[in-house]
Amino acid sequence: MNVTMRTLDGDTQTVSIEAVEALRSRLRGTAALPGEPGFDEARTVWNGMIDRTPGLAVRALGTSDIREAVAFARDNGLLIAIRAGGHQIAGHAVADGALLLDLSQMRSVHVDPQARTARVEPGCLLSDVDRETQLHGLAVPVGINSTTGISGLTLGGGFGWITRKFGMTIDNLISADVVTADGEILKASADENPDLFWALRGGGGNFGVVSSFEFRLHPVGPQVMSGLVVHPLEDAPDLLRHFRRICAEAPDDLTVWAVMRKAPPLPFLPAEWHGREVLIFAACYAGDMDAGELALRELRSLGTPVADVISPHPFTGWQAAFDGLLTPGARNYWKSHDFTELSDAAIETLLPAVEALPDPQCEVFIAHVGGAMARVASDETAFPQRDAHFTMNVHTRWEDPAKDAACIGWAREMFTALQPHAAGSVYVNFMPEDETDRLDGAYGGNMERLQQVKARYDPQNLFRVNHNIQPAARAAG
């Protein structure tokens, strides 16, 4: 039996079963063909809209397996897709007919509490990192959904509840071990291969496969002042204006995001509010509890909330607080804008769309980022959006495939309506697969340098199943 697989030039070719068996003999992990144990597990990702069948799935257990898989793809001219946490909205973790390199079994975390560093393997989820670092009262800034993968989050930038205090995930990356397209194993850091290190911090999986991350850790927790304040959506026009002012004046320890959706059946909400449109302020103060009480006083005094459940919570619990609303398997589509300011016009455009949510699971969140992350120059890392700003994500989520057109159409309509008020930039980790025209918005003035680094480390564009940065020569051609 032979295996038909997709090639880099868009064609297909036959790979002999003997070649597959030879690859298997060189692996610590496994190589699974369709129908074999582990294959479906490897190809299944968080977004239920993504149902793709690779030609072969290599389930790596270490750097040697990564190197073997990259060499097999390169030497046979095969399309290769890299899966780590499998959480990316675009579904680039898997491609039909490709060689799938699955890193999800590489989930070791080693913490050095004296040095305040952590060595993290690429298959780790944020929950893995949080659990191990919090044993020592330490944390690295990551995202807000604990089932997100550390690899995709980091390579795209990474921001969440403690970013304003300690910077982005990439700002706390000390080094990375990388398997490049030619099979080299390189260390990328400020002192070794600094151009690669620069590109990895926001440039996605375009430059190689990271087999290990080294992060700087900070004292956080074990408890943080955090929680939700829930208001009727009808009060949102006035509340959002207060929200933008509070964000502008907030200390770095404080992060407040606004979420608009139908109220889920949370136990602290009165039953009569379940399923009704609400505005939720989600807040976290990553410092002294008494100072947190003071910093959150104004937010909590706004309007007449339906519920206020801000109190001390374990940091690991707060990091997982939204997991129940983001479980794997549902259909998901996102559209995102950055705003330099949350103008009255943007608010007036946004709210009517929120009132027409196409499914109870859909939501719009507005994250305020700044503080420490805004004190980094725009060209210091590949991620360029360093000014304090608001990021809106139209998170469309539903179960029934028959609702695809309505849900996707709603997200696109809201995105288009808000475009005149937006900054034009976008966070690459929030880009769906169909946004191939927004890379310049994601990388701005850093694009040319990214193309040059790509030409140095992956001139043949082996790593192209991603939001792809073309090598400099190809981009100019």
Confidence band for 340, pLDDT divided at 50, 70 and 90: very high
Q: What per-residue confidence (pLDDT) applies to 252?
A: 97
Predicted model pTM: 0.96
Q: How remote is the C-alpha of 40 from its chain's centroid?
A: 23
Question: Cα-flanking dihedrals φ and ψ of residue 207, to 5°?
Answer: -115, -5
pLDDT > 90? residue 283: yes
Confidence band for 55, pLDDT divided at 50, 70 and 90: very high
Give the CA distances from residue 206 to residues 54, 84, 454, in Å, rounded to whole numbers and listed in that order. Answer: 20, 14, 7
Q: Which of 170, 91, 118, 149 is nearest to 334 (CA)?
A: 91
For residues 264 and 291, is the Cβ–Cβ distance under 8 A? Answer: no
* CA-CA-CA-CA torsion sign (193, 196, 198, 202): negative
Residue environment code for 314-334, b if the CB has 16+ CB neighbours within 10 A, otherwise e: ebbebbbbbeebbeeebbbbb
Q: Which tokens in the block code for residue 400?
A: 């029934």
Question: Using CB atoms within 10 A of its CB, is residue 388 exposed (0-12), middle (13-18) or buried (19+)?
Answer: middle
pLDDT > 70? residue 476: no
In tens, the pLDDT along 285-309 reads 999 999 999 999 999 999 999 999 9
Q: What per-residue confidence (pLDDT) applies to 473?
A: 83
Domains of the chain (ranges plus CATH)? 2-102 (3.30.43.10), 109-219 (3.30.465.10), 223-430 (3.40.462.20)
Give the CA distances from residue 248 to residues 7, 124, 427, in Å, rounded to whole numbers and listed in that order. Answer: 50, 34, 20
CA distance linking residue 398 with residue 454, whole number of Å: 37
Q: How remote is the C-alpha of 35 from its chain's centroid?
A: 30
Percent of the chain with pLDDT over 90: 97
**What is the average per-residue pLDDT within 209-231?**
97
In tens, the pLDDT along 122-165 reads 999 999 999 999 999 999 999 999 999 999 999 999 999 999 99
**What is the average per-residue pLDDT within 32-52?**
97
CA distance linking residue 474 with residue 477, whole number of Å: 5
Confidence band for 475, pLDDT divided at 50, 70 and 90: low
**What is the average per-residue pLDDT within 75-100?**
97
Mean pLDDT of the chain: 96
pLDDT > 60? residue 439: yes
Confidence band for 12, pLDDT divided at 50, 70 and 90: very high
Q: What is the 3-state secondary structure (H, E, C) of the chain?
A: CEEEEEECCCCEEEEEHHHHHHHHHCCCCEEECCCCCCHHHHHCCCCCCCCCCCCEEEECCCHHHHHHHHHHHHHHCECEEEECCCCCCCCCCCCCCCEEEECCCCCCEEEECCCCEEEECCCCEHHHHHHHHHCCCEECCCCCCCCCEHHHHHHHCCCCCCHHHHCCCHHHEEEEEEECCCCCEEEEECCCCHHHHHHHCCCCCCCCEEEEEEEECEECCCEEEEEEEEEEHHHHHHHHHHHHHHHHHCCCCEEEEEEEEECCCCCCCCHHHCCCEEEEEEEEECCCHHHHHHHCHHHHHCCCCCEECCEEEEHHHHHCCCHHHCCCCCEEEEEEEEECCCCHHHHHHHHHHHCCCCCCCCEEEEEEECHHHHHCCCCCCCCCCCCCEEEEEEEEEECCHHHHHHHHHHHHHHHHHHHHHCCCCCCHHHCCCCCCCCHHHHHHHHHHHHHHHHHHHCCCCCCCCCCCCCCHHHHHC
CA distance linking residue 425 with residue 402, whole number of Å: 32
Confidence band for 2, pLDDT divided at 50, 70 and 90: confident
Confidence band for 382, pLDDT divided at 50, 70 and 90: very high
Q: What per-residue confidence (pLDDT) applies to 1?
A: 73
In tens, the pLDDT along 100-118 reads 999 999 999 999 999 999 9
